[in-house]
Chain A
Amino acid sequence: MVTYPDDQKYKLFTRRAGLISAGMLVLTSGLIGRMYFLQVVGQNQYKLLADRNRISLRLLAPTRGRILDRNGYGLAVNRTDYRVNIIPEQAENVEDTLKALNIILPVSERQKRRILRAVKRQRAFLPVTVAENLDWKTFARVNINIPDLPGIQPDIGLTRYYPEKDLTAHIVGYVGSVNKREIGRDPLLELPGFKIGKNGMERVLDLKLRGKAGNSRVEVNVMGRVIRELSRRNSIPGENLKLTIDRDIQKFTADRVRDESAAVVVMDVHNGEILALTSTPSFDPNDFNLGISQKKYDALLNDIRKPLINKTVQGEYPPGSTFKMMVALAALEAGVIDKDEKIFCNGTFQIGNTTKYGWKRGGHGFVNMVEAIAGSCDIYFYTIAVRVGIDKIHQMAARFGLGQKFGIDIPGEKSGLNPSKAWKRAARGASWQGGDTANVGIGQGYVLVTPLQLAVMTARLVNGGRAVMPRILMSNTDHINQNPAIIPYNRQHMATILKGMAAVINRPIGVAYAQRMGRKMERMGMSFGGKTGSAQVRRISKSEREAGVIKNYEKPWIERDHALFVGFGPLENPRYAISVIVEHGGGGSKKAAPVAKDVLEFMFVRDRRKAKKQERES
């Protein structure tokens, strides 16, 4: 056996090296054990986490539904919006690119600063908007020059556009950017640049118009850059809404009262379809869409003629003499007066200690109901109102839709005020006085109505007493007017009322006879009736009355009476009802009735032309 000089040293080495290798084996097994734990036991959990890292859900915004008039004309549409973006990472130098772009598309210093700030803040592969709402010419020029504009990316998007501008602003409303309070459960609202309805139908029917978001599952890297699309579910566009509004009637109406502060509602008396709903002055919803300037907004807000208010449903006015039909009907139904009973009018009416004055100095003399309606005799209506009492009047007015919200798809609808004894006790804490009834008898005092309510009232009066509901949306409320409730009252009474309303326009005793509107219509083979009204904005003081009648045009605009008119046509088989209020317009017969006449005439002429055309075709 060979022995080496360092044999002992070797033995020790072998022992200790063995120890180390054993330790290494243990540690290596530890590694494999850990790998088993992560990759076999925990693999599902970690796979999920890896996918959550990797996959990002991108929302695809749906196209917003359009709002159309009854004939399919667009009132709120989506317009292609030509934009120019810059992608910083593709531009060698953002400032140089902007300078080059400036030759084609002027970029102001302020815009430039905004862009450069955004470039610094965002990730380099995300586009920054340089300019929006470009016209086609500019956009095309940018496109042609793309090779010289590194990083510039022309982009076509959709923006809301209201082609009729201010015509239907109060109905359609407008859209705007989502604010923090509005962010709810729908993740769409958090999409940058997403717009939602802010006013009008755009707001009330926003969910229908909005549609459903689609999504695209994309693979992203750690910086959020999209690598590829994994799957896609397309968005479902919003519903198109068809209105009962007829753009042409709406336009004619709006033009007719363009210079006034007025509200006009035109309705089909049989099915409640609103053909025109005009409130002037109006505004251009496109301004809001693009972000209205504070100055412009303040101007709208501070205008005493309140362009932002939709007067047709939000304006509450004393109905004045247009309310007299309700009083007459209540009295006839209650049997406190016969249609032929004559009441003497000397121009004053005594109730308690107060003397009330009629509008006509010296009075109307003896008048029956038809004459009282035609001549709008205040004394007659004071008398019968006091006879029948407020609660019967309240009941009748309620059946005709006064004091009620119809739930029409326009925001801010007001209920007006149809007063009663119970109401006064509850609201005012005072008992009802005889004088209150007398005031309501001529549509003054507590009673307040909206132009929409007046139109509905007139429609129900002339359609044979069927309680039609007004509607503005073609599609979804058909069932409502299939079988409208029948208002329980004597149909002969109705004939008396209509006779009175016809007389207002067409007989010499009528207050609006002097305007010769009836004759003009008759010459064209048309006819209409109605009731004028003047609503006092401010009580006439005794001293003023003694000093003599102050002419309306002598007062400042804001103190002048509102001019009202409710009308229908034709006289035989009425088809349309209309209500007109000209704020501070003075007398109803001079200011409001002619508007109604012109609108009705326009509609009749159109109908006749259409009928002829149909005849020819068939």
Chain B
Amino acid sequence: MMLRVQSRRRSKPLLQKLSELNWLIVIVVILIARVGFALLYSVAGGTVEPWAKKQVIRFVIGMAGMIMIAVIDIRLWMFLAYPLYFLSLVMLVIVSVMGQTGMGATRWINFGFMNFQPSELVKITLILALARYYHCLAKEEVGQYRRLIIPLLLIIAPVILVVLEPDLGTSLLIIIGGMSVLFCGGVRLWLFIVGLVAMVPAAFGAWGFMKPYQKSRVLTFLNPERDPLGAGYHSIQAKIAIGSGGIYGKGFMQGSQSQLNFLPEKHTDFIFTVLAEEFGLIGGISLIVLYVIVLGYAFITAMGARSQFARLLSLGIAVTFFLYMFINIAMNLGMVPVVGVPLPLVSYGGSAMLSLLAGIGFVLCAAIHRDMSISRGGAFA
């Protein structure tokens, strides 16, 4: 018995790990990113400048990072979970002190070669940290209320920093992503129900703290025709673009709304609209199917992994990834207010792409190490 456990604890050689890597998922990820390249090429009027080329370079770097993350021993990641979390927290603090400002919010740190957005990174590292925390708790301990203090602090710290930027969408994503780990980690169900109920007065409280542009976004969501040339313009034009795409779309680079600049932010948050206009319902559903494959894989990994860390990590990543996709597409379709959430792996932007690829790397890592059981004591104990 001890021997068996010991053997499972031993790390596999690198080549074996590479062969165990799920190349199907890697291909799906490449396909998703290629959709992004094509759309960025299209909205730039048929050129690789200024977006598509950069996006490809970042993706290649991100892919290398993803595979690297996947083949590294999962115990090392568990060991690094807290340090990485604190590192990203420190970066958030740096942003709030001396970050780059744009569009009324301070979100970036300039690294010279790229502007990095620590709020994207923290989504992943928070899940690492929470997964580690719950991995180390015994079943009985999970139910204890005092065991809730640390995870809640882990969530609240980055949320406060991100809200201050201000970036409401990302903070919401952090909260829900974190909560999903708590939920699956075994925190009592009624606490979540109470939490949801408490959200209602909190939402009204938040209204008071919102900046005018945020309020107008919410109001515009509720009634886009309120101000068709102002705040409602994005929603209305996006709806026209998607609707006019029909079932088959207008064809690559033929989307009048996209090509003639009626769409705002068409290379970032509203890129799904370009896809829906140029490739229609079929194009939109195809992309969603690709996402579902990645999500399904993350769920299967979570269900089949032996260690609680791997399970919670995969699940948390899956939920985060889903939130990106859902909120962005729903926003494009006019179902939720306009919040700054990119379409995963497709929207132009480095931080989100690198963070998401890292996230998928962790899922692949969890899959490679699914049979490894890790003691509650932690990493290399």
Contacts and interface: CB of A to CB of B under 8 A. Distances in A.
Contact of A20 (B184, B284, B311): B184
B333 A38 contact: yes
A22 to B, nearest CB: 11
Interface in A1-35: 4-6, 8-10, 12-14, 16-17, 20-21, 24, 27-28, 30-32, 34-35
A6 B303 contact: no
Interface residues of B, number: 49
B284 A35 contact: yes
B165 to A, nearest CB: 27
Contacts of A227: 260
Nearest to A21: B299
Interface string B155-193: 000000000000000000000000010011110000000
Contacts of A10: 308, 311
A27 B261 contact: no
B91 to A, nearest CB: 29
B319 A50 contact: no
Chain B binding site: helix, strand, loop or mixed by DSSP? helix
A461 B284 CA distance: 89
A31 B275 CA distance: 14
Contacts of B184: 12-13, 16-17, 20
Contact of B288 (A31, A38, A39, A51): A31
Interface stretch (B70-78, B202-210, B234-242): B234-242
Contact of A38 (B142, B185, B242): B242
Contact of A50 (B183, B240, B333): B240
Interface string B236-275: 0101111111110000000011011110000000000000
Nearest to B4: A2
Interface stretch (B97-105, B322-330, B344-352): B322-330
A219 interface: yes
Nearest to A49: B240
A12 B276 contact: no
B260 A46 contact: no
Nearest to A31: B329
Contacts of B240: 46, 49-50, 53
Contact of A31 (B237, B299, B333): B333
Nearest to B311: A13
Given A10-B308, A49-B244, A27 B260 contact: no
Interface in A35-54: 35-36, 38-40, 42-43, 45-47, 49-51, 53-54
Interface string B301-331: 0110010100110010001001000100110
B229 to A, nearest CB: 11
B285 interface: yes
A489 to B, nearest CB: 75
B139 A39 contact: no
A540 interface: no
A13 B308 contact: yes
A567 B337 CA distance: 88
B246 A39 contact: yes
Contacts of B185: 13
Given A35-B276, A43-B244, A9 B139 contact: yes
Nearest to A50: B244
Contacts of A107: none
A223 interface: yes
B214 interface: no
A51 B247 CA distance: 17
Among B142, B184, B326, B376, find the residue whose CB has the most chain A CB atoms closer than 10 A.
B184
Given A40-B246, A54-B260, A17 B302 contact: yes
Given A12-B184, A46-B239, 7 more contacts: A24-B295, A35-B276, A35-B284, A35-B285, A47-B243, A47-B244, A221-B261
Interface of B: 138-139, 142, 180, 183-186, 237, 239-247, 256-257, 259-262, 276, 280-281, 284-285, 288, 292, 295, 299, 302-303, 306, 308, 311-312, 315, 319, 322, 326, 329-330, 333, 335, 373, 376
